[in-house]
Structure 1
Amino acid sequence: MLLSAEQVTKLYGDRILLDRVSFSLDRGDKVGVIGVNGAGKSTLLRLLAGAEEPDGGAIVRESNVRLEYLMQDPAFEASRTVLEQVLLGLSENARALAEYEAKSILSRLGVRAFEQKMGRLSGGERRRAALAAVLCRPCDVLILDEPTNHLDSDMVAWLEECLRARKGALVMVTHDRYFLERVVRSMVEVEDGRLFRYEGNYDDYLERRAQRQESERASERKRQALLRREYQWVMQGPTARGTKSRERLERYEALKAQTGPEEKASMELSACASRLGKKTIELRGITKAFGTRTVLRDFSCRFLRDDRVGIVGVNGSGKSTLLNLIAGALRPDRGEIEIGETVRIGYFRQEVPDMDGDTRVIDYVKEIGNRIATPDGMVTASQLLEQFLFPEPVQWSPIGKLSGGEKRRLFLLSILAAAPNVLLLDEPTNDLDIPTLTVLEDYLERFPGIVIAVSHDRWFLDRVVRRVFAVEEDGTLRAYPGGYTDYLEARRAAERARAPKPRQEKRPEKTAGAPKRKFSYKEQREFETIDGEIAALEAQIAQVQAEQAANASDYVTLQTLQQRQEALETVLEEKMERWVYLNDLAEQIANQEK
């Protein structure tokens, strides 16, 4: 056993977050941890990683176990370069071995300016650098808290394959259900201070959790039936009960003292929206640039009254810019946006706006209204909070005591309660727990208006959207019908169609009269010079990286240099493929002469 928690208790104030829980991790285990926001998922990971100490019980680690931990808000030194931060703490020998892999992983995660200072990176780039730091170090146990946050869809797909292939033990908190479906082998649910473990992936968890809950309900029905029978006996007159045993009375009291499984509040939201007229939102020839980089180019679209649109693309491609243009937070450089008179936009941004930490949760909602209209009638602010899984004790707590995910859920409540008829959702799945996401998806299916969502969550996009707009490198948007899986299949089919068909090299038959293989004049010249060409390309890439470090504060120049580096890397990859072919041919020629 690599790692275990034995009868661990953790308190926050007077709240028992984890109540005498036990957990074990063996070699090769891959465990997904889920639960509602605030249940204690991240706390469990911090305890396992040694970042916090339990208030009771013990965390036991095998001697010499190597452990790497990605926390939600990684610490960093602003003056260190990206590469220094990623390789921090490694010995000189270990640095030499890890540097190449670190650069490769950083490039995969879209962080290519290795010499840039950490303080100049965005929050998402810093988190991707922290992810690279734990992935490039060999370890026995990898603990990841929301590893897919701030990754685009291609990065998420790459990380999924990386973790699937990894041999060591893994424990992670994530809301990405495809990740849980494809990577983990067991699930742990944190609920009411307890841990419930289920073998299998996310689909298996859903089935086995339903079985457990039905078993608990069956046990409670049996207890209630027995309690009713015993109650009838107790209520008989003293004469009739005079000869009854004292043990039976004690059994009745024990049954009465027991509590059944608590019925959880369910976040079932009434899909309310103000009336949307025929004229909705139309974009005509929209172009938007930042400096010399055009992020959106000549985009036209008219959104239908019940549209469900997903926006995908690499980080920084212009997805959020499109939402900001529709919301009126930005103005296009060219083109025009026409908004219908009945349109009411609700914009769920990536960043939760500043909330007064001293304001009570219920007072925050009352600013929208003491009584809020829904299709099912008027509800009070307190009732609406109950629907959003904020029980009464939490409603009267200050916002400052909420977790990051709970604040995001409260922000979502404020958006939906205002009854918009157009929803703009910018990475809505970040920091929301799976129960909340499931209910949000159900809500959006019934929502009588337009939904436009930027998301990297493949499950969410497959469940919600009916067409996908992909933002290309040159700023154009390409439309694909269907959800994310349909888009991915269409993109792969297009790539296969564009790919040049490989030449069929005729291999000589090994017969006495077969002609021998030999270089053509062009191949011979290429074979003699290709090593130097590869070295020159590597030197040019190194020079571009040095220029990136020197121009780290110049966004426009940095973007140009990054594009230059990507072009050089493409040429280098082609040269390396050609080098492999030529060396293979040279080996065949040499073998013929033996």
Structure 2
Amino acid sequence: MANIINLDRVNKGYGAAGQLLTDVSLGLDDDARLGIVGLNGAGKSTLLRMLAKSEEPDSGRVTHRRDLRVATLPQTLNLAAEATVRDVVLGTAWLPQGMGAEHEWAGDSGVRLILDGLGMGYLGLDTPVGPMSGGERRRVALAALLVRESDLLVLDEPTNHLDVAGVDWLAKHLVTRRGALVVVTHDRWFLDEVCTATWEVVDEQVHMYEGGYAAWILARAERQRVAATVEARRQNLLRKEIAWLRRGPPARTSKPKFRIDAANELIADVPPARDTVSLQRLATTRLGKQVYDLEQVTLNAGPKPIFRDLTWQVGPGDRIAILGANGAGKTTLLRLLAGVTKPDGGRLITGSTVKPAFLSQELKELPGHLRLLEAVEEVARRVQLGDRELSAGQLAEVFGFTDKRIWTPVSDLSGGERRRLQMLRLLATEPNVLLLDEPTNDLDTDTLASLEDLLDSWPGTMVVASHDRYLVERVTDVAYGMFGDGKLVHLPGGIDEYLARVQTPIMGGDAGYVSGGGSAATGPGLSQAELRQARKDLSRLERQMTKLTEKAAKINEQLAQHGSDYDKLVELESQLKAVKQEQEQIELAWLELAEQVPGN
């Protein structure tokens, strides 16, 4: 591996935002698959722009390998209104600096394959981009990058405006794509599926971790645990020294020998999984037995039919995910439940105690003349959420607003912060039914974790339309799919079943889709998703075995060096024994897993 980009003592800041990066030195390998995470405003997009050399640092150097081809998808795009899909994707109507027209392999069929994968198969190549929505224009620009070869692909929030199937397709495409990849995204499932390394932008620095989102969370938790331990030791040092002085010289004792199992420590005090039965009991108390009953409902979005004779029931404590392609009608369904629209036929019966809160994708008008805390207190000063009573300030803290930030004028908030405030004000009304339309848009990973923790113990009914696989699998219990046939289909297999239905065409005369079943190629009893996870777990176990082998070799070297030091030998023998025990456990886990995965 060789570095294609180097950052040498880079500093960057802006007047209003302050200093973002201070004395940062990094290198990017030619086969890197890197995810960048951090709070909104920490400097993630700024770091991307400097990696791509579309923005210069205040001081320090950013160097590229000679003739490096960089393809960049920024957050904001400027596409000529008169340009067609063909002009953008195959021509030069919109291209990052240094990118030329299409390569030899790129033709109509190649473009069609990519547009289909991004959920835009309905577009003709001669369709003008002027009338398109912002999401459609962004997907066309992404397709323009994917049809071209590049040494480095830099993507800023590529999963925005993609549905679950589009995110799944993009992940698979990027995993097999040649060249380096750097991505900023709040989609945690995507980070885990695509990335093999993570950079965290925090406190003007960039910390590097091996692995995707899950590995980053574990490593960061361990780093925080160690930092807390160090701080506790520092705090107690003076007290201990005084105690030693009062006792006199301590007796000579052998050094304590111990081995900390960090993983067990990290999960030792984790609360149990969501108690669904108790939450449903609380929800029934608040809602009664009836929430929503749809009887032979017909629903249209303008001239487009969404449902035909739909009969469906939503009960107290139900936690439902609605899955479907962009334009399938998920938002229309939520608007119906929220009472914003009426059915075109049939009946919608809403329980008498239902108090819904509808989070739309649009940023509603917020009181710009107020400060953030005042905007929350305008709705409620204290909020009861399940068994937790929170002040307006405490609720703001849950959503990532620090003591200083709560006094910021609403008019000065960023888009992500305004989205958080919108959600915050919604919950402050103490609803008993939440209707959430893409709630993760513009939220960073830490805020998402806080939101999920809150929703996890929320004792009410919840209907969520989201492309964020991580959130769907964390906070909902049941999934329904919308496939454009006027029906709402129960999916016992959740997102995996949804993807199988939309990705596996029927072999034969009838057009349509069926659920994909297991086969010998996927391993005994494993779905495609389970097979992917099993292969990732095998790779992880192999890396652990390599590290343990290296650790054992170093201990053996130390044993040879300290042959005359009895206490040191005892300590090293104990360490070696622990390493060998861990090796045996990992080898056993690897063998058991390898039997389930074909080709191992």
TM-score (norm 2): 0.71
Q: Identify if the C-alpha distance between structure 1 residues 222 and 459 changes in structure 2 by more than 3 Å, giving closer, same or farther.
A: same
Residue 108 (structure 1) aligned with residue 112 (structure 2): no
2:77 counterpart (74, 89, 109): 74
8 Å contact kept, 1:466–1:482: no
> Any unmatched runs of 5+ in structure 1?
237-270, 501-594
Deviation per CA, 1:236-288, whole angstroms, max 9, x where unpaired?
9xxxxxxxxxxxxxxxxxxxxxxxxxxxxxxxxxx998922222111111112
Alpha-carbon spacing, 1:133–1:401, altered in 2? closer, same or farther (3 Å): farther
Counterpart code for 1:406? E
Map of 2:394 onto structure 1: 383
Matched, 1:208 2:212: no
* 8 A contact 2:209–2:219 mirrored in 1: yes
Q: Percent sequence identity over matched residues?
A: 42
- For the residue of structure 1 that corresponds to 2:13, the secondary structure is strand
| Equivalent residue, structure 2, for 1:334 | 345
Provide the C-alpha distance between the structure 2 equivalents of 1:358 and 1:10, rounded to a whole number of angstroms.
31
**Partner residue, 1:419:** 430
| Paired letter, 1:435 | D
Q: In the TM superposition, what is the alpha-carbon distance from 1:293 to its structure 2 partner?
A: 3.1
1:187, distance to aligned residue in structure 2 (A):
0.7
Q: Secondary structure at the match of 1:275?
A: helix
1:53 equivalent to 2:56? Answer yes
Distance in 1 of aligned mates of 2:43 and 2:199:
12
- Structure 2 residue 207 is matched with structure 1 residue 196: yes
AA paired with 1:105?
Answer: I
Alpha carbons 2:386, 2:457 under 8 Å: kept = no
SS at match of 1:119: coil
* Residue 18 of structure 1 pairs with residue 21 of structure 2: yes
C-alpha distance in structure 1 between counterparts of 2:9 and 2:373, whole Å: 36
Distance 1:439 1:379, change over 3 A: closer
Alignment-derived partner of residue 167 in structure 1: 178
Structure 2 counterpart of 1:88: 92
Which of 32, 44, 47 in structure 2 is aligned with 1:44? 47
SS at match of 2:8: strand
Structure 2 counterpart of 1:9: 11
CA contact under 8 A between 1:38 and 1:406: conserved in structure 2?
A: no
Which SS does the other structure have where 1:352 is aligned? coil
User: In the alignment, what sits opposite 1:27?
Assistant: 30
Instruction: Give how far 1:106 is off.
Output: 2.2
Q: What secondary structure, in the 3-state scheme, does the structure 2 residue paired with 1:120 have?
A: coil
Aligned residue pairs, count: 465
Say if 1:226 and 1:34 are closer, same or farther in 2 by CA, change over 3 A: same
Say if 1:135 and 1:357 are closer, same or farther in 2 by CA, change over 3 A.
Answer: farther
What is the match of residue 484 of structure 2? 473
Unpaired stretches in structure 2, ≥5 consecutive residues: 247-278, 515-600
Residues 99 and 92 (structure 1), Cα distance of their counterparts in 2 relative to 1, 3 Å cut? farther
- Map of 1:503 onto structure 2: none
Specify whether residues 114 and 355 from structure 1 end up closer, same or farther in structure 2 by C-alpha distance, changes over 3 A only.
farther
Paired residue secondary structure (1:475): coil
- Please tell me whether the aligned partners of residues 380 and 429 of structure 2 are also in contact (alpha carbons under 8 angstroms): no
Aligned to 2:291: 280
Change (3 A) 1:133 1:370: same
Shift of 1:104: 3.1
Letter paired with 1:88: T
Equivalent residue for 1:62, pick from 23, 47, 65: 65
SS for the counterpart of 1:45 is helix
Residue matched to 1:569: none
Equivalent residue, structure 1, for 2:440: 429
CA distance in 2: counterparts of 1:229 and 1:395, whole angstroms: 40
Q: Relative to 1, partners in 2 of residues 1:20 and 1:402: Cα closer, same or farther, differing over 3 Å?
A: farther
Deviation sequence 1:363-407 (CA, Å, 0-9, x none): 221221334445567544333222322112211222233332222
TM-score, with structure 1 as normaliser = 0.72
1:447 equivalent in alignment to 2:458: yes
Question: Within 2, Cα distance between the matches of 1:489 and 1:287?
Answer: 27
Counterpart code for 1:44: L
Q: Are 2:304 and 1:302 aligned?
A: no
Q: Give the 5 Å matches for 1:491-530.
A: none
Cα distance change of structure 1 residues 495 and 406 upon mapping to structure 2, 3 Å threshold? farther
Structure 1: distance between partners of 2:104 and 2:501? 41
Matches within 5 A, 1:511-590: none
Q: Please tell me whether the aligned partners of residues 103 and 148 of structure 2 are also in contact (alpha carbons under 8 angstroms).
A: no
Matched, 1:366 2:358: no
- 1:408-430 Cα shifts (integer Å, max 9, x gaps): 11111111111111101111122
SS at match of 2:119: coil
How far residue 84 of structure 1 moved from its aligned partner, in angstroms, is: 1.5
Alignment of 1:237-276 (within 5 A): 275-276=286-287
- Partners in 1 of 2:128 and 2:101 — Cα distance? 24
2:362 aligned to which of 338, 351, 357: 351
Find the aligned partners of 1:216 and 1:478 in 2 and give their Cα distance: 49
1:158 Cα deviation from its structure 2 partner: 1.0
Q: Structure 1 counterpart of 2:29, which letter?
A: D
**Aligned pair in 2 of structure 1 residues 491, 317: CA closer, same or farther (>3 Å)?**
closer
Is the alpha carbon distance of 1:369 and 1:289 closer, same or farther for their aligned partners in structure 2, counting shifts above 3 Å?
closer
Question: 2:471 and 2:66 mapped to 1: Cα distance?
Answer: 41
Structure 1 Cα separation of the partners of residues 369 and 107 of structure 2: 46
Does 2:496 correspond to 1:485? yes
Which deviates further from its counterpart, 476-485 or 175-184?
476-485
Larger Rg: 1
- The 8 Å contact of residues 311 and 469 in structure 1, kept in 2 or not, is answered as yes
Letter in 2 for 1:104: L
Partner in structure 1 of residue 237 of structure 2: 226
Q: CA RMSD in A?
A: 2.9
How far the C-alpha of 1:310 sits from its partner, in A, is 0.8
Distance 2:465 2:338 in 1: 14
Superposed CA deviations along residues 433-486 of structure 1, whole A, max 9, x for unmatched, are 222222222222211111101111222222222221111222211112253235
What is the CA-CA distance between 1:67 and the residue it aligns to?
0.6
